[in-house]
Amino acid sequence: YYSFHIKDAAGLKAEHDTELGKGTGNLRGILAKVKNPEDKYFYVEQETYPDSPLESVKRDYTYLAALRF
C-alpha cells in the first residue's frame, strides 16, 4: 500500500473520534508493520475537535512525528 487513512477513537462504541494517540487504537503497533513509512502518505481523519481544528492537526502531527519504530 502507498497511502493510509488513519483515525483514533475513545473506545469501540464511541460516538466521536479523538486526536491521534489519545484513544484506544494501537496506532504505533499498526504503523510499525508498514514497510518504509517515510515513503507513504498518511491521511488523518478527525471529525471532532476539543478546541480548534488547527490545534488538533498540530497535535496529530506532533504525535505522528514522535513515533519511533
Q: Can you spell out the DSSP letters for 5-69?
A: EE-EESSTT-SSEE-TTSSS--HHHHHTTSSSGGGSEEEE-----SS-HHHHHHHHHHHHHH---
pLDDT the model gives residue 69: 78
Phi first, then psi: what are they for 42, rounded to 5°? -120, 120
Average pLDDT over residues 2-20: 92
Give 15-48 pLDDT, tens digit per residue.
999 999 999 999 999 999 999 888 999 999 999 9
Phi, psi for residue 64 in degrees, rounded to 5: -65, -40
pLDDT at 5 over 90: yes
Reported pTM = 0.84
Q: Is the pLDDT of residue 6 over 80?
A: yes
What does DSSP say about strands 17-18 and 41-44: parallel, antiparallel, or unpaired?
unpaired
